[in-house]
Homo-oligomer: A and B are copies of this chain.
């Protein structure tokens, strides 16, 4: 993804070493588990955003890397706790911590990574009120996760869905960009612009995930098809189709009630009611929003890297 941006590529490679160096613990289990989860791949989108935002101002590795690591480690912590709640067996093709060990160790490992993230945040040297970005983000992620959990087995509305995904996914992208901007002394206006870009990117990213959930091949993506639905969560294509097609709504509710149903028939019904197409449209609308935020940003040799990431969606 970074072939056109050798500086970003070099910074991300150096960041990877930094991240590794900050993950050691005197407790062997935590040392192995933390490194296992954080270093097991992942696209490092959030650190890339932190670095790119910071490259728009006074770039200083000693402030940027702790911020990028804080965000990436916080992301790993939320994945660990999410995997408990979602009963997820695998992630990135590997067994999840809660599956490999047990829920209890997964709870504490997540907590430990939260604390680690907080300590890294302090290392950025940012003023306390700027640190609040991440604290607020965690609050909102938890609120949205709880909202989703309580709303399980309820199809819900597109409006509530969008609010939830921006909280659940957009906020952390947004925080990684804002923190990058703040470490580089960019103005509040520019930081806010980066933040809005992050929220829209997160929405598009989550809708893409929802589309993969219904369209992906289990073998190549490492995630079972319609996994979310099996866990009682209605994804965007389902919500849209159900709002248009009362029969489909009944099928989904039957599915939620545990009366089973034919998954392939359900997928066909979602396609024929336009649930996939409309979801793609909505995703594209967020992609366009991202592009328009990029247009408004101060131009640097790195700004276009944001377009590259958006196009990857």
Contact = CB atoms under 8 A, between A and B. Distances in A.
Interface of A: 25-27, 29-30, 81, 84-85, 103-105, 107-112, 114-116, 118-119, 122, 125-129, 131-132, 134-136, 138-139, 142-143, 145-147, 149-150
A96 to B, nearest CB: 14
Contacts of A110: 107, 111
Contacts of A125: 128
Contacts of A119: 132, 135-136, 139
Nearest to A30: B146
Q: Assembly of this chain: how many copies?
A: 2
Given A111-B81, A114-B111, A118-B118, A105 B146 contact: yes
- Main secondary structure on A side of the interface with B: helix
B84 A146 contact: no
Contacts of A134: 118
B145 A108 contact: yes
A149 B108 CA distance: 10
Contact of A142 (B115, B129, B139, B142): B115
Nearest to A120: B135
A84 B104 CA distance: 7
5 contacts: A84-B107, A85-B104, A107-B110, A108-B142, A115-B135
Contacts of A122: 128-129, 131-132, 135
